[in-house]
Amino acid sequence: EPEVTQTPSHQVTQMGQEVILRCVPISNHLYFYWYRQILGQKVEFLVSFYNNEISEKSEIFDDQFSVERPDGSNFTLKIRSTKLEDSAMYFCASNSQGSGELFFGEGSRLTVL
């Protein structure tokens, strides 16, 4: 069964460092998303991406964040200068129609020290 894959599964970084989280969405999906879940809190929407551009972003997704689809398969989330409060599980997701069921990856746990 096709699945969304994410790397790395866990990354530890120092505050102020740049981090890139990578995702390979399901191959025939057209809509891509990043969500995050701070430990013990709700899953929160960060950004949606379609047709090589951001379609929606939340207030969390400030200038420190960026997304890119550098080739036909990868979808990346970059945090330019990490802060302690960026520590969270980051989930990539995709779907084919832009609404309804999302297929989530296993997540990348980011720890900022």
Report DSSP state, residue 85. Answer: G
Instruction: Give the nearer residue to another protein in terms of CB position, either 17 or 111.
Output: 111
Instruction: Give the nearer residue to another protein in terms of CB position, either 20 or 30.
Output: 30
Report, in Å, the least distance between residue 56 CB and another protein: 4
Check binding of 68 to another protein (CB under 8 A).
no
- Are 70 and 59 within 8 A, CB to CB? no
Q: Give the per-residue contact string, 38-67, with another protein (x = CB under 8 A; - = no).
A: ---xxxxx--x-x----xx-x---------
Residue 9, helix vs strand vs coil = coil
Check binding of 25 to another protein (CB under 8 A).
no
First to last CA, the chain: 37
What distance separates the 2 farthest-apart alpha carbons in the chain? 38
